[in-house]
Amino acid sequence: MCPEALARISSSELASYIRGYAARVAPGSLNLLDFLIKARFGVDAVTMFFKDSSTFFKVLEEVYDVKETALFMLVSVFIKPMLIKLNKLDVLNEAVSLAINDSSKFRKLLSDLGVDLS
């Protein structure tokens, strides 16, 4: 299916879904991340995840002090529920790799999956 044929979803709608999911599965974690990320970067955690996923992952590593825990949070609280909402769980490994290593390619993937990042 070509990207133009995908249903579009706004980043704000997707952010709201991620926030609700995070509140259910990891209560309080997003509040902590919001506080820390707003203090350093002036945006909330989910916005940072969409705009600069690589830096977002580095913050997770700093907060959780163990790469495996940071990876668990990135995948379980942010990427996996997002892909479930988009009905695109088949790109999980690619999304994780891009989110950690190349924010611009991660944003391109999100756009290709129908996320309106503007």
CA atoms within 13 A on the CB side of 9: 17
Residue 6 has pLDDT above 80, yes or no: no
* Helix or strand run (H / E) with residue 116: strand 115-116
Residue 1 has pLDDT above 70, yes or no: no
Candidates 44, 40, 100; CA nearest to 68 is 100
Q: How far apart are CA 110 and CA 118, in angstroms?
A: 12
Element containing residue 9 per DSSP (H, E): strand 9-10
pTM for this entry: 0.90
Q: What is the mean pLDDT of residues 65-82?
A: 96
Chain mean pLDDT for the chain: 93
Name residue, tokens 């994780």. Answer: 96
Find the mean pLDDT for residues 72-90: 96
What confidence category does residue 3 fall into, taking pLDDT thresholds of 50, 70 and 90?
very low
**79 token code pair:** 């990427």
